[in-house]
Amino acid sequence: MDLVLVIVAPGQGAQTPGFLAPWLEDQTFASRLRWLSTVAGIDLAHYGTEADADEIRDTQIAQPLLVATGLLAALELFPHPADAFNKVGAVAGHSVGEITAAAGARTITAEQAMVLVRERGRAMAAASEATPTGMTAVLGGDRDEVLASIDKHGLTAANDNGPGQVVAAGTLEQLAALAEDGPAKARLMPLKVAGAFHTEHMAPAVGHVADLARSVSVHDPRIPLISNRDGQVVHDGSQVLQRIVGQIAHPVRWDLCMDAMLDLGVTGILEMPPAGTLTGIAKRAMKGVETFALKTPDQLDDARAFCAKHGESSVFNASPTWRMVVSPTKGTFHRDADAAAVEVLSKGAGIGTVETLRDSIAVTAGHGGEVLEWLVEDGDLVSPGQPLIRLHPVGGV
């Protein structure tokens, strides 16, 4: 059996007071954190060691703190990043963790990640002040009844974390109505967050971050990246950035991310610090998949052994990745007749579709270029991140 390692990064709410203290005993880690603190304009060492729970709950603090921690822990785990490219089958991040994942896959730099997350946190905090909103976790109950109840009260299922764990978000009045008339056999747990993240209430934040993102240069991921918008594997750097911006006001479908991991054949999931949330979900929803929650630096040797055990290879080993088009999901590939007949594809040209049990997903050549080889045939079964066609850049394409 092939072994597949997936590395995941948690989202807001994973942080706890003092969690960075043991990491800062390492002078290299501390020095790198000072650099990222300078980029973000926030004293991350203070917030990760001395600040209380209320201080680090602040969206403007929590988000940069989480991204910086994940990025620096990744460098501790893989001192030579190229080692990760050869071992990691995929990366994914929950909510703001997707910025961590994108930087780890080298779509954006660590500095770009810190600027984006700084502005994301500020913009989301400002949007939260416009209308009193919040979020409530709905635990247990029948899934269809839970979603129907959320919709009935005008709320959004902002996080779908798999069986028995959906987070509803909206105005405080709507959440109060849900508390009074919630789904049967479900437990409601109000979350201590500033607003209704991943809903239409965050639309003003999307506009601000989108304006900044226009000036961000990107590269295609060096590791398959699973988008938390829909669980698709994304291999176009510009699309990764667009999704990072759009997910601010779009629900997180972690359930679909886990489905994609299973389709990839995942055997091991390692969660970056502050770890525990996503591995906890995986233990409940992904039976038979081994997990590792990296919380403190004294676990690094064991974490490296875990990566060595599960990190057999990456689908991107053999070929340059920046001109390769990959399948976004598991399904049957149907090649576009026009694409099959030409030697050069224009930027954004369709190459075919992947038919799944749920829908039909169009696949495009994000960069365009000369067709070097088709790597699949019409009607082939494909897996998430599987290369479909290899292109060579052509002037003007």
Catalytic positions are 95, 198
Q: What is the pLDDT of residue 293?
A: 98
CA–CA separation, 110 and 104 (whole Å): 8
Query: Mean per-residue pLDDT for 112-135?
Result: 95
Looking at residue 125, its pLDDT comes to 93
Residues of the chain with pLDDT > 90: what percent?
89
Cα–chain center distance at 4:
18
Task: Report the pLDDT averaged over residues 288-311.
Answer: 96
361 by Cβ neighbours in 10 Å (0-12 / 13-18 / 19+) ranks as middle
The DSSP result for 327-371, as a single string, is -SSSEEEEE-HHHHT-SEEPTTEEEEEEE-SS-EEEEEESS-EEE
CATH number at 324-392 = 2.40.50.100
**pLDDT higher than threshold 80 for residue 305:** yes
Q: What is the pLDDT of residues 230-266, one digit of tens each?
A: 999 999 999 999 999 999 999 999 999 999 999 999 9
Q: Which of 11-20, 53-62, 319-328 has the lowest mean pLDDT?
A: 319-328
Instruction: Please report, for the chain, the start and end positions of each structural domain, with discontinuous segments joined by +.
Output: 5-127+200-310, 129-190, 324-392
Confidence of residue 322 (pLDDT cuts 50, 70, 90): low
According to the model, what pLDDT value does residue 110 have? 97
List, as own/partner pairs, every contact residues 144-151 make where C-beta atoms lie below 8 angstroms and the sequence separation is at least 24, other chains included: 145/183, 145/184, 145/186, 146/183, 146/186, 148/183, 149/178, 149/181, 149/182, 149/183, 150/178
Residue 208 has pLDDT above 50, yes or no: yes
Domain 129-190 is in which class? alpha beta
Model confidence band, residue 318 (pLDDT cutoffs 50, 70, 90): very low
pLDDT tens figures, 210-220 = 999 999 999 99
Q: What is the mean pLDDT of residues 276-299?
A: 96
Query: Cα(89)–Cα(28) distance, rounded to whole angstroms?
Result: 28
Kind of pairing between the strands at 133-140 and 186-190: antiparallel
Can you tell me the mean pLDDT for 69-88? 91
Residue 193 pLDDT: 84
What are the Cα distances from residue 148, in Å, to 48, 152, 160? Answer: 39, 6, 14
Instruction: Yes or no: say if 330 and 263 are a contact pair by the CB < 8 Å rule.
Output: yes
Per-residue pLDDT band at 393 (split at 50, 70, 90): confident
The CATH number given to 5-127+200-310 is 3.40.366.10
Reply yes or no on whether the pLDDT at 316 is more than 70. no
Q: Which two tokens stand for residue 231?
A: 């669980």
Mean pLDDT of the chain: 94
Q: Alpha-carbon distance 297 to 24, whole Å?
A: 9
| Dihedral sign computed on CA atoms, order 255, 261, 265, 266 | negative
pLDDT of residue 323: 80
Would the pLDDT of 364 be above 60? Answer: yes
pLDDT confidence bin for 375, thresholds 50/70/90: very high
* Rounded mean pLDDT, 345-371: 93
